[in-house]
Amino acid sequence: MAIWHAVKIRYRRSMKTDASPINVPRSLFLYALIYGGMAVLAGVLGAKLANVGVWPVIGQMTVESGIFAFLLLIVLASTVNELHGTAVAQRMVRYGFVPLILSMILIRTVIDLVPPAPVWSYQSQFALILGQGARMQFAGLCSYGVSQTLNVAIISQLAQRSVGRVLVVRAWLASLLSQVVDTVIFITLSFWGVAGGDGHALPLGAMMGSQIIAKLVLSTVMVPVLVWLGVKLGRRLDQ
């Protein structure tokens, strides 16, 4: 029951339909909608391995494209935690499993059970890309649940300590730690046993290293600022 009080939801039974108000903060409504979409999109985008260039010392960097949607998940969870509390943010993370599971079921249904139209000749490409996406969404279920829960827990704990008094600092630290965990779980489950274009197994260690470094850099540059802006926008929406 506490969660409903936290998000300020009121429901009053009445014979009149216009006398049953449901009052949800605008920021929570908006961010929860975006969060569900990004949770699904992260797994689909992950089917593409992206070249992010040659970095000093590190060399060639290859990452899965889902990291961009995942960064937004981190931002949204941290923002909701700041605006509406840890209990609400954790509940949003758990509800995020619903669109993930539904999208996995629908993808497999469309690939395996729905026949392609005679005039459409891209079934094999469709199955190749989204079929891999379904596997990545399964991997995302595991990495998502662990990393997002960890992110909210860390930012909440830091808020109780002196280092957590500055929003951008605790958002940055929570993002760094949770994304390292997410990368190890996601890359292992998504690409274990998958062959690259040359027929050899993909270099999981190098992919993890590239992914972690890219996420740490992007987290440092983007996440603190986006969380700060998200909180500002959320407070304005709720006024």
Q: Which helix (H) or strand (E) holds 49?
A: strand 49-55
pLDDT for the residue 239: 86
pLDDT for the residue 76: 93
- Residues for the chain: how many in total? 239
pLDDT for the residue 22: 67
Q: Which helix (H) or strand (E) holds 82?
A: helix 67-84
Residue identified by tokens 């006398």 is 19
What does pTM read for this prediction? 0.74
Q: Which residues sit opposite 59 in a β-bridge?
A: 55
Count the Cβ atoms, other than its own, within 10 Å of residue 239: 7
In tens digits, the chain (239 residues) has pLDDT values of 444 444 444 434 434 455 556 678 999 999 999 999 998 887 788 777 777 777 666 666 767 787 788 889 888 988 998 899 888 988 998 898 888 888 888 888 988 898 999 998 888 888 877 776 567 667 777 877 788 788 888 877 777 665 545 677 777 788 788 878 888 887 788 777 766 666 667 777 777 777 778 778 877 888 888 988 999 999 999 98
User: Is there a contact between 112 and 126 (Cβ–Cβ < 8 Å)?
Assistant: no
Based on the number of CB atoms within 10 Å of its own CB, is 142 exposed (0-12), middle (13-18) or buried (19 or more)?
Answer: middle
> Helix or strand or coil: residue 62?
strand
Token pair in block for residue 113: 């059970």
pLDDT for the residue 184: 83
pLDDT for the residue 126: 84
